[in-house]
Amino acid sequence: MNISQHALWQSQVEQVDWLGLSLPLVSVIIDNYNYGKFLQEAVESVFRQSYPSIECIIVDDASTDDSRRVIQDILRDHPKVITVLRKENGGQSSACQDGFDASSGQYVIFLDADDFLLPSAVETHIYVHLSLRIPVGFSSGDMLQSVNGEVVLGTRQNLSDHIRSGKGRCPDLLRPIDECLGKLYPLEPMAWLEEKVHLVEPHSAFWVWSPMSGKCFRRDALQLVLANHALTSLKRSSDAYLNLGINVLTGSVLIDQPLAVYRHHSANGLARHPHLNGFFSFKRGREPDNSQIGRLLLIDYFMDCSDDLIRRSSPRHFIDALQELGRHASFHGAPYYLSRQVWTRWKALREHFSFWDLARWYAGLRRKKM
């Protein structure tokens, strides 16, 4: 969609009395550290969106390259961009927390500064969320993979593997919002997406999603996990924490449609090359296991928030979420981590569980090495 088309669409949206309501604001938070050469393109991809209600926030994590000059150039062209300029480098998780605090949208996209969005990304995510019969915590679209500006792959393997397995098939998962509202829906109908949306059930901590830039989170889902002060210790791969923590509580959906572009380059934090069947795109054992760190941080945080989480869901839901995190943590060298946390917080948990229910849970965790 070109600029004149977008302006026309925006005016049409403003003229439509959508039952006295408006489309939800989407906050696109761009996390940048020394990616000045990519930042302009990331921002422009936000302003090329076909969706009309977006705020753009740049969080610069004390870059040492020319990022601050690039940001000044961006502000001349887009004065409504919100900027958060950190004085000290704190890592990706801290930048995400700062960006979230500065945002207002009911939906949030964390866009890595070296990636960019395809023009229909935001509109597609919001259409899916507004049409879902199951109110999940986030959606994950597929991502193209590029090298030196050339599209090398059209998918992410983990996401495609889950879709091909058929596990996410769920009858009547969508009730298309445009069919519900008819002419009152101000954007283009996208009922064709119905066959491309696949459920990831709650209580699953197995990675099936795209990286950070491919997802759209509900604000209230992020609030369940982002207030963790210990999260600042996870300097990169923050999606390892957000995806796992939110999915074990609320579930998510996959959208079998490329919505963003993952750029491979020499400074990528983890993935060094596009996916190749049967081969890892990173060197195993050479990088910190951020998924493992994220799981352990989530176990601690859920235990700290046990009273709130249990009262807002149920004891069974709470146990199932922790069981899944503990099971995967035990695969990564922490065989008794969850059972130790249950023992440490025994007194607090007794407010919600009988002695014998808690004792049986603890004994089962010890047997399973969780």
Pair of tokens at residue 72: 């000044």
Question: What DSSP string describes 243-275?
Answer: HHHHHHHH-EEEEEEEEEEEEE-TT-SS--S--
Tell me which of 240 and 56 has the higher pLDDT: 56
Q: Express each pLDDT in 55-72 by its tens digit.
A: 999 999 999 999 999 999
pLDDT of 269: 57
Least confident of 165-169, 267-271, 314-318: 267-271
pLDDT of 267: 61
Identity of the residue numbered 198: H
pLDDT of 291: 82
- For 86, other C-beta atoms within 10 Å of its C-beta total 16
Q: Using an 8 Å Cβ cutoff, are 240 and 215 in contact?
A: no
Q: What span, in angstroms and rounded, lies between the C-alpha atoms of 331 and 370?
A: 9
Q: What span, in angstroms and rounded, lies between the C-alpha atoms of 105 and 181?
A: 23
pLDDT of 19: 66
- The residue assigned the tokens 């004891």 is 315
What is the pLDDT confidence band of residue 360, given thresholds at 50, 70 and 90?
very high
Least confident of 195-204, 233-242, 244-253: 233-242
Does residue 15 have a pLDDT over 70?
no
The pTM score is 0.90
Q: Which of 40, 35, 100 is nearest to 76 (CA)?
A: 40
Percent of the chain with pLDDT strictly greater than 90: 70
Q: Which of 111, 131, 80 is nearest to 263 (CA)?
A: 111
What is the pLDDT confidence band of residue 283, given thresholds at 50, 70 and 90?
low
Q: What span, in angstroms and rounded, lies between the C-alpha atoms of 174 and 328?
A: 30
Q: What span, in angstroms and rounded, lies between the C-alpha atoms of 107 and 130?
A: 11
What is the pLDDT confidence band of residue 16, given thresholds at 50, 70 and 90?
very low
What is the pLDDT confidence band of residue 298, given thresholds at 50, 70 and 90?
very high
Does residue 307 have a pLDDT over 50?
yes
User: Helix, strand or coil for residue 75?
Assistant: helix
